[in-house]
Amino acid sequence: MLQLLVGQTLNGVIVGTLYGIIALGVTLTFGITGIVNFALGEFMMIGAYVTWYLFDVAGLPFPVAIGPAVAAAALCGLVADQVLFRFTRNNLINGLLVSIGLISIVEAAALLLWTTTPKDMGYVLTGAVRLGGVSVPKMKLVVFALLAAVMFLTYAALSRTWMGRAAYAYAQNPEAAMLMGVRTGILQSAVVVYSTALAGFGGALYATLYSLEPSMGGLYILKGVEAAILGGIGSLIGSLAGGIILGVTEAVGSIYLPSAFRDAYGLIFVVAILLYRPSGLFGAER
Amino acid sequence: MLLEIVELTKRFGGLSAVSDVSFSIASGEIVGIFGPNGSGKTTLLNLIAGILAPTAGRILWKEAEIEGTSPHAVAAGGVVKTFQNPQLFMELSVCENVAIATHLRLMRRFGMLRTLELLPWRDAAREAEMANAIDRVLALCRLADVRDRAAAGLSYGQEKMLGVAMAMMCEPELLLLDEPASGLGEDEIRTLEHALRDLRDAGTTLCIIDHKVDFLGRVADRAIALQQGSVIAEGAPAQVLRHPRVVEAYLGRQHARA
Amino acid sequence: MKALFWVPFLIIPAIVQSNFILSIFIFSFILAIAAVSFNIIFGFTGQLSMFHAAAFGIAAYLTSLIVSYFQVSFWTALVPTLAFTVLISILIGSICFKFQLRAFYFAVVTLAFSELARLVILNWNSVTNGTLGLMVLEKPSVWMPGAGLLKIDGVFSWYYFSLAALIITVALCSLVLNSWIGRSFAAIRLNEDLAQTLGINTFRYKLLSFTLANALAAIAGSLYAFYTGYIEPAYLSINQSLDIISMVLLGGSSSIAGPIAGAFVLTGLPHMIELSGEARAILYGLVLILTILIMPRGLIGTLVGLRRAA
């Protein structure tokens, strides 16, 4: 029993970092452009499928395949930003609806290209490690490490580089930032593209663990939004923490309660948090 | 005493916006509250109007505790507040803005069913009441000639007067005005003063916050000075303005000593 | 003016012989009820509720299940369904509005409740048959003077039945939205803080708006279930909510006619043009995006605007 608990907790932590990287994208986009990009899940899907294609079909080594996958997601993100999101800055409802329209288009395109047949990518790293009495596949540990590293790097970049602090300043007070010469238009586009790149990176790693379907984006964006709200929109640490808490709760919860309700935990969390602590666990008290 | 504030405190995290403030307002008075930026004036009004709930202290309106009551109930009870940055229904015309504000007035005179306009026949008495009230208020606030203009197309001064007009329409017993004169030109300030005196003559008690010390000096019967959330002086406007702590707050310690 | 609008619809079945086209009209009428009712809470009161499809779907299941378990008529079953919808709207609405959830968070919480409802229906196999869905074999009956009890079965009777339902819905919405209640909704949409300080109990009005919208959605859902003869958990999906939102946006959210137009276009076009599922999805996404970016006032809103300018 204890083994099961430990195993599920570890699983939950790893899945949680996947939720977390999407949550990070959600939080960054909301803080700087004032909208929630519901299509982030689709960019994750793009990253996943391109990685699968390059690794499985084209036979490139995995580390080489990630680069173009992230680039593809980021490029699509740039296009989406210039064509769509540029016109919905700070308009929450319009931004939401436009991103939903984008989801329809991208998912349909993916269906045409790759059909609903799930694609399973070949093994990148085999073998397992014993942790806490449980056998954990090495690939899962690598995924966890990479995602956590990227999230911490993002946090460091935002607090230490000029660009990062400009972003913080902008999030606090857009007009003042503008007056002080921060190129707000470029900043906003950069954040949108960066969050799609993050999602693409998450997708690339997702492909090493799970099978791919065009509908995967829809599930992950919902989890990402739940994790972001749980951790507190606006808090970068919150995205990772929220993701992990969500992942662990789902994994451990499904030991005791029917797994059919796995998705319900996140929903209940969100309702409870928004009612009692709207700023999330790590967000600033308003 | 119409309104009594007892040891009112509001903290935001570590910051005390309003600290242990106590004062009262008697019926028919015009009380002016002033102080530099950040002294807690707007927070104080927001607490009275129910937009914020206090951390500690009591607010007594006609001897009943109202702290933490929701804004619409406070308004229904006779306390109405205007906003420092004029809050309007931007897409609607001046006339329509004021019309929405007749909500409380109609409820008081005609009851819910007739106010909600769900009856299949035309209610001539209700329509007449509404039209008369709107005309009166627009005339008093010098907005009659722009009555059909969209609120978004008004000048700043007109926007402020529209805010006052809407507040007046709610038939307040106590009207709280948040910086009504800021941003107004000489003429507009005169219109404002005229409207406010009219209100007082009709029986409304006024509580005005502002920066413009001379405006407050002219209009108020009594003045209260705030600094960093606490009351530092209270009394007749002329005396309060000369009070050493007040001078120090506005002009610095050197001037106070001089 | 409104009465004249409906006249052509009364005559159509005499002119159009194709059952296929008539059934498109029936679907459009029923979904128009869902769209018009959504617009009460969205277009008029300014709150994006993601619970609408849930109200639609829960009612579909409730009415069908009550009719088949208790062997009562459609109308008898509608009463507890509506009562349940009103109760659950008051419950969820109170939770959301009491805690002053704004815009995005209101959408998220209503989405959460909607998904929870869908999960319950999806997994309660003993009652709802899960993903397989349920067949609805009964049909409603209406008492007509001179003809006695008529069973609403077949395209012809369903056409007039659903048209009548739509007309009644529009009349009710017209009454409410043109009244002082509607003005209060508008005040909440335009500037909620200001409305509060003017004495408008925004909590109560938002609750009323949400409840009324969901109740009418419940009627639409029940009609839909009995017409198609089949219900499934997908009725409560996010996609269903999005379909309804798209109808309102396409048609225009500032009028009662707008959502009706949107319902007709989005129900009719996909059947008129033979497209694969994926192509249809791409078209739908494009329509949504173009409407938001280029025609934010929707078809009807833009037409009205053009006419005013001319």
Q: What is the CA radius of gyration of chain B?
A: 19
CA distance A127 to chain C (A): 37
**Which residue in B49, B91, B106 is closest to C197 by CB distance?**
B49
Torsion sign, CA atoms A233, A235, A236, A241: negative
Q: CB A275 to CB C288 under 8 A? A: no
A2-276 has CATH 1.20.120 classification: no
Contacts within 8 Å (CB) and 24+ apart, B195-203:
B195/B140, B195/B141, B195/B161, B195/B164, B195/B168, B196/B30, B198/B140, B199/B168, B199/B175, B200/B28, B200/B30, B203/B28, B203/B173
Torsion sign, CA atoms A159, A162, A163, A167: positive
Indicate the pLDDT class of residue A286, thresholds 50, 70 and 90.
Answer: very low
Can you tell me the distance from the alpha carbon of B217 to that of B196, in angstroms, rounded to the nearest whole number?
A: 14
Indicate the pLDDT class of residue C107, thresholds 50, 70 and 90.
Answer: confident
pLDDT at C1 over 60: no
Classified as helix, coil or strand, B24 is strand
CA distance A101 to chain C (A): 4
Max avg pLDDT among B31-45, C99-113, C201-215: C201-215
C91 contacts in chain A (CB < 8 Å): none
Q: What is the pLDDT of residue A47?
A: 93
- What is the per-residue pLDDT across A187-199, written as a single tens digit (0 to 9) for each? 889 999 999 999 9
Q: CB A229 to CB C95 under 8 A? A: no
- What is the per-residue pLDDT across A62-92, written as a single tens digit (0 to 9) for each? 888 899 999 999 999 999 999 999 888 888 8
Q: Is C293 on the interface with A (CB under 8 A)?
A: yes
Q: Which one of A89, A97, A116, A225 makes the best mutation probe of the C interface by having the most chain C beta carbons within 10 Å? A: A97
C287 contacts in chain A (CB < 8 Å): 101
Closest CA to B168 of B90, B89, B101, B93: B101
Residues A11/A16/A19/A20 CA torsion (nearest 10 deg): -150
CA distance B205 to chain C (A): 17
Q: Is C266 on the interface with A (CB under 8 A)?
A: no
Q: CB-based contacts of C93: which residues, under 8 Å, 6+ apart?
A: C206, C207, C210, C211
Residues A13/A15/A16/A17 CA torsion (nearest 10 deg): 100
For chain C, the residues whose C-beta falls within 8 A of a C-beta of chain B are 175-176, 178-181, 183-184, 186-187, 190-191, 193-203
Specify the DSSP class assigned to residue B38. Answer: T
Q: Is B109 on the interface with C (CB under 8 A)?
A: no
Indicate the pLDDT class of residue A182, thresholds 50, 70 and 90.
Answer: low
Q: What is the pLDDT of residue C194?
A: 93
- What is the per-residue pLDDT across B153-184, written as a single tens digit (0 to 9) for each? 898 888 998 999 999 999 999 999 998 888 88
- Least confident residue range of A139-148, B119-128, C187-196: B119-128
Q: CB-based contacts of A148: which residues, under 8 Å, 6+ apart?
A: A17, A240
ipTM of the complex: 0.87
Given a contact cutoff of 8 angstroms between Cβ atoms, the answer to whether A275 and A269 are in contact is no
Q: Could you tell me the residue ranges of all domains in chain C?
A: 20-236
Element (H, E) at C49: none
- One-character DSSP codes across chain A: -HHHHHHHHHHHHHHHHHHHHHHHHHHHHHHHHSS--TTHHHHHHHHHHHHHIIIIIS---HHHHHHHHHHHHHHHHHHHHHHTGGG-TT-HHHHHHHHHHHHHHHHHHHHHHH-SSPB-PPPSS--EEEETTEEEEHHHHHHHHHHHHHHHHHHHHHHHSHHHHHHHHHHH-HHHHHHTT--HHHHHHHHHHHHHHHHHHHHHHHHHHS-B-TTHHHHHHHHHHHHHHHH-TT-HHHHHHHHHHHHHHHHHHHHHS-GGGHHHHHHHHHHHHHHH-TTTTTSPP-
pLDDT at A106 over 70: yes
C105 contacts in chain A (CB < 8 Å): 229, 274, 278
pLDDT at A183 over 80: no
Q: Is B246 on the interface with C (CB under 8 A)?
A: no
C178 contacts in chain B (CB < 8 Å): 117
- What is the per-residue pLDDT across B173-220, written as a single tens digit (0 to 9) for each? 999 999 888 888 888 888 888 888 888 888 889 999 987 778 888 888
- What is the per-residue pLDDT across C82-103, written as a single tens digit (0 to 9) for each? 999 999 999 999 888 877 767 7
Residue C9, CA distances (Å) to B36, C28, C95, C251 in order: 67, 12, 41, 18
Element (H, E) at C216: helix C202-228
Can you tell me the distance from the alpha carbon of B21 to that of B125, in angstroms, rounded to the nearest whole number?
A: 45
Q: What are phi and psi of C292, to 5 degrees?
A: -65, -45
Which of A17 and A175 is assigned the larger pLDDT? A17
Which of B41 and A171 is assigned the larger pLDDT? B41
AA identity, residue B154: L
The mean per-residue pLDDT over the stretch C241-246 comes to: 87
Q: Which one of A42, A90, A104 makes the best mutation probe of the C interface by having the most chain C beta carbons within 10 Å? A: A104
Which of A117 and B94 is assigned the larger pLDDT? B94
Q: Which H, E and C letters describe A176-229, residue by residue?
A: HHHHCCCCHHHHHHHHHHHHHHHHHHHHHHHHHHCCECCCHHHHHHHHHHHHHH
Q: What is the pLDDT of residue B226?
A: 84
Q: Is C102 on the interface with A (CB under 8 A)?
A: no
Classified as helix, coil or strand, C231 is strand
Element (H, E) at B207: strand B205-209
Q: CB A101 to CB C119 under 8 A? A: no
Q: What is the pLDDT of residue C292?
A: 87
Say what percent of chain A tops pLDDT 90: 32
Q: CB-based contacts of C238: which residues, under 8 Å, 6+ apart?
A: C50, C53, C111, C114, C115
Closest CA to A214 of C246, B120, C98, C282: C282
Q: CB-based contacts of A184: which residues, under 8 Å, 6+ apart?
A: A170, A174, A177, A178
Residues 34-73 of A with CB under 8 A from C: 36
To 10 degrees, what angle do helices A92-114 and A40-52 make? 20
B99 contacts in chain C (CB < 8 Å): 183
- Counting one residue from chain A and one from chain C, the pairs whose CB atoms sit within 8 A come to 97
Closest CA to C288 of C240, C248, C258, C237: C248
Q: What is the pLDDT of residue B258?
A: 45
pLDDT at B256 over 60: no
Indicate the pLDDT class of residue B113, thresholds 50, 70 and 90.
Answer: confident
Please return the burial class of A165, using the count of CB atoms within 10 Å of its CB with bins 0-12, 13-18 and 19+.
middle
- What is the per-residue pLDDT across C188-215, written as a single tens digit (0 to 9) for each? 999 999 999 999 999 999 999 999 999 9
Given a contact cutoff of 8 angstroms between Cβ atoms, the answer to whether C33 and C216 are in contact is yes
Q: What is the pLDDT of residue A59?
A: 82
CA distance C179 to chain B (A): 5
Q: Is B81 on the interface with C (CB under 8 A)?
A: yes
- Counting one residue from chain B and one from chain C, the pairs whose CB atoms sit within 8 A come to 82
CA-based nearest residue in chain B for residue C178: B117
- One-character DSSP codes across B112-160: HHHHTT-SSS--HHHHHHHHHHHHHHHHHTT-GGGTTSBGGGS-HHHHH
Question: Residue C265 is encoded by which pair of tokens?
Answer: 């276009």
Say what percent of chain C tops pLDDT 90: 45
**What's the half-sphere exposure (Cβ side, CA atoms, 13 Å) at A46?**
27
The mean per-residue pLDDT over the stretch A10-32 comes to: 92
pTM, full prediction? 0.88
- What is the per-residue pLDDT across C42-84, written as a single tens digit (0 to 9) for each? 999 998 999 999 999 999 999 999 998 888 888 889 999 999 9
Q: Is B161 on the interface with C (CB under 8 A)?
A: no
Which residues are registered as beta bridge partners of C231? C134
The mean per-residue pLDDT over the stretch C210-230 comes to: 94
**Which residue in C108, C122, C296 is closest to A270 by CB distance?**
C108
Residues 260-279 of A with CB under 8 A from C: 260-261, 263-264, 267-268, 270-271, 274-275, 278
Q: CB C99 to CB A278 under 8 A? A: yes
C191 contacts in chain B (CB < 8 Å): 87-90
Q: Which one of C178, C191, C197, C202 makes the best mutation probe of the B interface by having the most chain B beta carbons within 10 Å? A: C197
B167 contacts in chain C (CB < 8 Å): 197
Can you tell me the distance from the alpha carbon of B224 to that of B23, in angstroms, rounded to the nearest whole number?
A: 9
